[in-house]
Every structure is written in C-alpha cells, then in structure tokens.
Amino acid sequence: MVGKKVQTFFNPVTEVVVSVEEIVNKKRVGILGGNFNPVHYTHLLMADQVYHQLGLDEIYLMPSNIPPHQTAKRTINSDHRVKMIELAVEDYPYIGIEKIELQREGKSYTYDTMKTLKEKNPEAEYYFIIGGDMVEDLPNWHRIDELVSLVKFVGIKRPNYQVETPYPVIWVEIPETSISSSLIRKRVKDGCSVNFMLPEKVLQYIKKEGLYLNDSL
C-alpha cells in the first residue's frame, strides 16, 4: 500500500506475520438466521442488542429458505417474509438483510451458508445469533463440529429452555420474552390482538395481504 506505514508482528509459534492493518480490518459481523414468519419484536431486540453489546461492525437478519430439521414446518412465500423484514428495519439502516439462503435451493443448513460467506469474506469474523431453543438443539445441527470453527455462537435465553451446552456460546442478556412467530400466526388466525408483539407496519402488511387467516402456516 503506497504511502501507508504498515506495522507487522512476528509470531514465533505459528511463524505467521500479521499486520496491524489485518487485525484492525477484521470485520465483526452478526447474523440472526430464522424463518421470520413473521418477524417480531424479539427478533429485532436480539439483533439490536447483540450488535450494540458486542460492538459489532455489521448486523443482518438472514431469512431461511426451508428451515433445517423442520419438514413439518411449512412456511409462506419468501417475498412476503422479506417484505415484512424490510418494513421492520426500514428506520434502522444499520440492520441489513442477508438473502443468501433464499438464492439457494433446498434446506438452509447453516454450515453451507457460513462456509460460502466465509469464502466470500475471509476477513470477516461471524457471530451467529440463536435463541435458547436452538442452543439446546445444537448437537443435532448439520456438521456442527465444523460449524463451530466457522462462527462464534451468540445465545439469547428463551423461557423454558436450558442454557447448558457442550458447544462454546457467548450469552447476551436481553429481557426474556415468549413472543414467537407461531404465537403470532395463531393469534391472527383466531382473530386475537397481536399489537405490541411486532412493528405496526408489519401488522398492517399482514392485514393487507390477508396472511395467516386460513391455516397454520
């Protein structure tokens, strides 16, 4: 690099020379994966709090195509799910949307996704955010032993789920809630209020499009 002094360090154990620039340039990126059917306030709280509490450089919500291990879990068209996320974050420009899993066929295994993202952005350090139910489920994840070397997991406690896990998890505290997409879908279908569980703009979209009225999607 012309005109810029780059200081280097020599590590005698690994015999690797690392520049200060390389350390400083390491981007720390948070990803909250989910089906977002629909996105709700706890998703947004999770993304925002992890971004701020860990001082990350970037944060993304990443909608899945077909959720792994959930053949029974049907979902709605990804255009609706993406539109609802866009409405939810439009006033928060630091929260992005990562659509890589929607561009890939089949089940959205996190190992496949993170391997591709790491190849595209080798300088990035990824923080994959999961709720307590998913922390409990980690032993069942596809190629989990390889995945733990690709990402750092960030756990968010969820009522009624364990916090013990054999895998390394950074816990971030947020006010615990039992809000879930399935609760919202059920309440909309039953004609009950979901006010204050998700952004008003998302609720208006659900009403305008007539989502979740007929079955258990």
Which positions from 89 through 148 interact with ligand ATP, judged by CB under 6 A? 130-134
Handedness of CA 74, 198, 133, 65 (dihedral sign): positive
Residues with Cβ within 8 Å of residue 6, at least 6 apart in sequence: 19, 20, 21
Which of these, 33, 46, 17, lies nearest to 151 by C-alpha position?
33
User: Residue 68 touches which of ligand NCN, ligand ATP, none (CB < 5 to 8 A by kind)?
Assistant: ligand NCN
> Which of these ranges, 64-72, 83-91, 152-160, 187-195, lies near ligand NCN under the rule CB under 6 A?
64-72
With CB cut-offs between 5 and 8 Å by kind, which of ligand ATP, ligand NCN, none does residue 78 bind? Answer: none
Least gap, CB of 128 to ligand NCN (angstroms): 8
Q: Which does 141 bind (CB under 5 to 8 A by kind): ligand ATP, ligand NCN, none?
A: ligand NCN
Binding positions for ligand ATP, 2-41, rule CB under 6 A? 34-37
Q: What Cα–Cα distance (Å) separates residue 78 from each residue in 18, 87, 90, 140?
A: 42, 14, 18, 25
Q: Which does 179 bind (CB under 5 to 8 A by kind): ligand NCN, ligand ATP, none?
A: ligand ATP
Contacts of range 176-180, beta carbons closer than 8 Å, 24 or more positions apart:
177/41, 177/42, 177/45, 179/40, 179/41, 179/42, 180/40, 180/42
- Find the shortest distance in angstroms from Cβ 91 to ligand ATP: 21
Binding partner selected for residue 182 from ligand NCN, ligand ATP, none, CB under the kind-specific 5 to 8 Å limit: ligand ATP
Q: x/- string (CB under 6 A) for ligand NCN, residues 119-148? A: -----------x---x--x---xx------
Q: Closer to ligand NCN at the Cβ: 17 or 139?
A: 139
160 and 185 in contact (C-beta within 8 Å)?
A: no
Q: With CA atoms as reference, report the closest residue to 87 among 199, 211, 179.
A: 199
Binding residues vs ligand NCN (CB under 6 A): 33-35, 64, 67-70, 108-111, 130, 134, 137, 141-142
